[in-house]
Amino acid sequence: MNVVIVGAGIAGLATALSLEAVGIRDIRIFERAPEIRGLGVGINLLPHAVRELTELGVADRIEALGVAPSRLAYFNRLGQPIWSEPRGLDAGYRWPQLSVHRGRLQLALVELVRERLGEVIETGHRLTDVSEGAETVTAVFDTDAGPVEATGDLVIGADGIHSALRAIRYPTEGRRRGAASRCGAAPP
Ligand SMILES: Cc1cc2nc3c(=O)[nH]c(=O)nc-3n(C[C@H](O)[C@H](O)[C@H](O)COP(=O)(O)OP(=O)(O)OC[C@H]3O[C@@H](n4cnc5c(N)ncnc54)[C@H](O)[C@@H]3O)c2cc1C
């Protein structure tokens, strides 16, 4: 099976690793950013996400990038506790919760994809169109060198919350309401 993944964020990269784990190696990932710089700030991976990383055999590497909080606690501005609850292993899960820098997580996943699949990530490719044939799907990307097509048995949209692929496939859905702005800090 030949798979085209749109977006080299956390979902696109994790999907590539999951497909590789079940024996699908003919994968290309297309990312609109000219380079993957590992942007963001903190992100929390809940136990069910860490379970997936554990199944992929990469949890140790991700765990080394962050911390495993044992409690979530809220305080008011005077420092008085409002709410507190156990998290991860302390909450009885079989997997920890991990707090990591989003950019470091993304760069670690890029490294793992390269190790397991080779140079399959094409940056500078912004999805602009997608069309279905009888047996295949073709994605069209805008690049500095002009439009580029990629045909696969499957095209997976992992291009984030403002997904271009979703907008193409579901044009009447509109934009997500209450969309927050994005953080852009590089990893320390
Ligand atoms: C720069 C950035 C910083 C973030 N920082 C944080 C943070 O600090 N904390 C937090 O909790 N969450 C953060 N997020 C959101 C968080 O990463 C996602 O909500 C979550 O990881 C889900 O991942 P995702 O792969 O679905 O989406 P995303 O992480 O948003 O990845 C989507 C990828 O698709 C690419 N893409 C988008 N449109 C196209 C297109 N038309 N063609 C090709 N590629 C496209 C994007 O460039 C991006 O690399 C950030 C997201 C981004 C993009």
- Residue 184: inside a domain, yes or no? no
On average, the pLDDT of the chain sits at: 94
Measured from the CA of 12, which atom of ligand 1 is nearest? 25
Give the pLDDT score at 178: 63
Give the pLDDT score at 109: 97
Give the pLDDT score at 175: 76
From 4, 31, 99, 143, mutation site for ligand 1 pocket: most ligand atoms within 8 A of C-beta: 31
3-state secondary structure labels for all residues of the chain: CEEEEECCCHHHHHHHHHHHHCCCCEEEEECCCCCCCCCCCEEEECHHHHHHHHHCCCHHHHHCCCECCCEEEEECCCCCEEEEEECHHHHCCCCCCEEEEHHHHHHHHHHHHHHHHCCCEECCCEEEEEEECCCCEEEEEEECCEEEEEEECEEEECCCCCCHHHHHHCCCCCCCCCCCCCCCCCCC
- In this structure, which residue's CA is closest to atom 39 in ligand 1? 159
User: Does 184 have pLDDT greater than 70?
Assistant: no
- Residue 175: inside a domain, yes or no? no
Give the pLDDT score at 174: 79
User: Can you read off the two tokens belonging to residue 52?
Assistant: 């997936």
Determine if ligand 1 sits within 6 Å of the CB of residue 39. Answer: yes
User: Does 186 have pLDDT greater than 90?
Assistant: no
- The CATH number of whichever domain residue 62 belongs to comes to 3.50.50.60
Confidence of residue 177 (pLDDT cuts 50, 70, 90): confident
At 83, phi and psi to the nearest 5?
Answer: -155, 145
Residues spanned by the domain of 157? 2-169
The number of distinct structural domains making up the chain is 1
- Residue 115: inside a domain, yes or no? yes
pLDDT tens per residue across span 126-170: 999 999 999 999 999 999 999 999 999 999 999 999 999 999 999
User: Does 181 have pLDDT greater than 60?
Assistant: no
pLDDT tens per residue across span 25-60: 999 999 999 999 999 999 999 999 999 999 999 999
User: What gap in Å lies between CA 68 and CA 32, rounded to an integer?
Assistant: 32
- Residue 174: inside a domain, yes or no? no
- Residue 185: inside a domain, yes or no? no
Confidence of residue 176 (pLDDT cuts 50, 70, 90): confident
Q: How far is the CA of 4 from the centre of ligand 1 (A)?
A: 17
Give the pLDDT score at 94: 97
Determine if ligand 1 sits within 6 Å of the CB of residue 45. Answer: no
- Residue 135: inside a domain, yes or no? yes
Give the pLDDT score at 53: 95
